[in-house]
Amino acid sequence: MKEYFKQKLNEKEYKKLKKISDSNVLGYIKEAIELCNPKSIFVNSGSHQDIEYIREKATTLGEELQLAKEKQTIHFDNYGDQARDKKNTKILVPKGKELQGVNTTDRDEGLMEVLGFLKNIMNNKEMIIGFYCLGPVNSPFSIPAVQITDSFYVAHSENILYRIGYEEFTSKEKLSYFIKLLHSAGALDERNTSKDLDKRRVYIDLEGNIVYSTNTQYAGNTVGLKKLSMRLAIYQASKEDWLCEHMLVMGIKGKNDRVTYMTGAFPSLCGKTSTAMMEGEYIVGDDIAYLRKINGEIKGVNVEKGIFGIIQGVNSKDDPLIWKALNSDNELIVSNILMKDDKGIHWIGKDGEIPKHGFNHSGEWEPGKKDATGKEIKVSHPNARFTIKLDMLDNLDPDWDNKDGLRISAFVYGGRDSDTSCPVEEAFDWGHGIITKGAALESETTAATLGKEGVRVINPMSNLDFVSVPLGKYLEMNLEFGKNLKSPTNIYGVNYFLKDENGKFFNGREDKRVWYKWIEKRVNNEVKTIDMPTGRIPLYKDLKELFKEVLKKDFSKEEYDKLFTIRIQENLKKIERVRSWYQKLNNIPEKLYQILEEQEKRLHDAQKKHGSSYISPFKLT
């Protein structure tokens, strides 16, 4: 096989590739070359020279444009290619198998289609072969990955977002497991954006352990190491008794320099980013976590080493840490925002006035410009992004890259809920938490999304879009994961969106800082709780002290009463919604219905005992 590569690669690139011995890795690369038929081939070993070559080639080819600062560039996607293509993102399923609630297609038909699109697709392009590691390098969490692409923008993005894994491939004669990713941007238009969007496909083949992506450049469809390989990791985790979760990882500071690590799962627009970037605490990761049981403890790592974040609304007041990173001189890629005439940048919600002219994802732009349907084109796309390394953030945890993982003391689940759940609540035990906080996770739509507020969407563990095993099996994985732990991990629900009868939020924007300080104290056995029918809540005196200590403000008994009153009917309605949703699916664990029924009984008993549908926490102290 090495003779084949010697013929296909120049001597410099061949020397990099010949250090790899694994025949499965080399076989995949050979198949990709034969399929895509590139004009030339570049091997990214992760050396300084290779990293710089990719960065410079991205601008030379026009996939990125140079901004005013030396290490900063802007990328534009096609006007119709600026978000994840959910319709054409599918898991390939063999005949006779099914995955409920997930977008799938027949494996044989899907492979025939996507391989047909990829045939000779790189015949006038340079193929980039990149070696990465998901999770820390040389770690129990490490998953090696090979990304093959013809987009230098994609390769540049991955060099920022992921750990280089070349040594993972060269130091081992045989890898037990690795992920394969094959992408081509396809034919490009005069602006160097993918133009054959009718042939855009993102197919995940679980059996072949490979992601195929064609005729798209948007990073969510092409940076295969992110949500695309997440499906492959969940599938692998299901066979090996660990979890791949759509979770942030953060460290909350306690007394005597103590740091307590927690995960957090939040659906879109439910506070995930603001939680990960919370003032005074440590960020480990903002998006995806690998979790393993090691010596009776749950350990977790951030899969990534960078952030691919939404830039809309980022400003100096609300997002000081990200703002500082975006305005530094460090390496940065922005996408689908405005490049000003002086090569500065602007986006929706940025400090300062909107420029009168510039260049964005729609071409030359000025205020009032409209698209083909007559809709006004804003200064930037709502899904415009920034790509930075985590070490640009002042609040990065010093131990964030610990190859042994960080001990996770709490799982936190949070949704957008205006009338049911209190701001912070501890589950009674692991099973109760997985079902009532995780599997029952709901989020309300906003008026801006559907024109109607309050439509509740169930999103188990905030992971529904990415689950690649039957949902019943996924719930069983989560339930089993908490067994036989010598150091218990508590589960919590949080809710930042509780409203009064006039639609006004009870919570202040910064109140979440108190909820997490309370969780930190609770898992370290420094505060007690009150048992409610739905879980355990804080004592008033503890929150009063924390509000004064953390936010320098008073917290009244009236506020506590409004926030932590148990709302019987609202909780009963939620149980019925959750139960009805799961009853439409096959092979859901009986444990889910049992735990919901037990909670339902506690709610009825509380209502009968107190003679009211609204029970003050002061009545239960």
Q: H-helix or E-strand containing 64? A: strand 64-66
Catalytic hit among 36, 244, 270, 422:
270
Annotated active-site residue 270? The verdict is yes
Give me Rg for the CA atoms of the chain.
25
Q: What does 103-171 look like in DSSP terms, one character per residue?
A: -EEEHHHHHHHHHHHHTTTTTTSEEEEEEEEESSTTSTT-EEEEEEES-HHHHHHHHHHSEE-HHHHHS
C-alpha 609: how far from its chain's center?
43
Neighbours of 553 (CB within 10 A): 11
Q: Read out DSSP for 247-290? A: -EEEEEE-GGG-EEEEEEE--TTSSHHHHHT-TTSEEEESS-EE
CA atoms within 13 A on the CB side of 443: 21
CA dihedral 95, 98, 99, 101 (to 10 degrees): 120
The gap from C-alpha 247 to its chain's centroid, in whole angstroms, comes to 7
**CB-side neighbour CA atoms (13 Å) of 135:** 27
Cβ contact 287:143 at 8 Å: no
Secondary structure of 494-557 in HEC code, one letter for each residue = ECCCCECCCCCECCCCCCHHHHHHHHHHHHCCCCCEEEECCEEEECHHHHHHHHHHHHCCCCCH
**Identity of residue 566:** I
Distances (CA, A) of 184 to 9, 32, 154: 19, 11, 10
Rounded Cα distance, 486 and 133, in Å: 30
Q: 426, 399 in Cβ contact below 8 A?
A: no
Torsions phi, psi for 123 (to 5 deg): -65, -15
Helix/strand/coil (H, E, C) string of 380-436? CCCCCEEEEEHHHCCCECCCCCCCCCEEEEEEEEECCCCCCCCCEEECCCHHHHHHH
CA distance 169 to 363: 42
Q: Are strands 456-458 and 535-538 parallel, antiparallel or unpaired?
A: unpaired
- CA torsion through residues 584, 590, 594, 595, sign: negative
Contacts (Cβ under 8 Å, ≥6 apart) of 216 = 81, 85, 185, 186, 194, 197, 200, 202, 222
Handedness of CA 331, 63, 312, 204 (dihedral sign): negative
The candidate with the shortest Cα–Cα distance to 275, out of 441, 494, 440, is: 494
Active-site amino acid positions: 270
